[in-house]
Amino acid sequence: MKKSTIVIVLALMISVFSCSTKDKSSITTVSVEEMQTLMALENVQLVDVRTPIEHKVGHIANSQNIDYNSPTFDDDITKLDKDKPVILYCQKGGRSAKCADKLLEAGFKKIFDLKGGFSEWEHVDLKLNL
C-alpha cells in the first residue's frame, strides 16, 4: 500500500514538473521531504556540488560529488544523463541554484534543487553518510 502511494505521488510530481520548455519552470526547488520521495526513483541522479572536502566531511548517501567551483565542472556535468532527473544540493542552496541554471542551459529536462541544501538536510536529521 505504501509503495503504491509513493508511485502515485511520484507519477504526479513527474507529470507536473516535466516541462519541455527551457525556462525556470524546468527547475523545481524541493523540500527535504519531497527530495526523499524523488530519491526513491531508480533513475534519479543525486549530485552534491560542494567541494570534495565538504563532501568528505558529510554528504547525503549515494550522492556523487561534482564541485561547482572546479575548473572541470562544465566537462564533469556532461557525464550526467540529460534525460534522467537530477537532484542538486550544496551547503545552503546558492551553488546548486547556479548549477541548476547551467544544467538547464545544457539541455537537462528535470532538475530539482534542495531548498536550504545540506544544512537543511542535517537539520531535519535524516540518514547521513558521514
Residue 18 neighbours by CB distance under 10 Å: 11
∠ CA(6), CA(10), CA(15), 5° rounding?
155
Known catalytic residues?
A: 90
* Helix and strand counts by DSSP (H, E) for the chain: 6, 7
List the grid coordinates of 97.
541554484
What is the model's pLDDT at position 122? 85
What is the grid cell recorded at 85? Answer: 532527473
Those residues of the chain that have pLDDT short of 70 are 1-25, 42, 125-130
User: What is the pTM assigned to this prediction?
Assistant: 0.77
Estimate the crossing angle of helix 32-39 against helix 2-17, to 10 degrees: 100
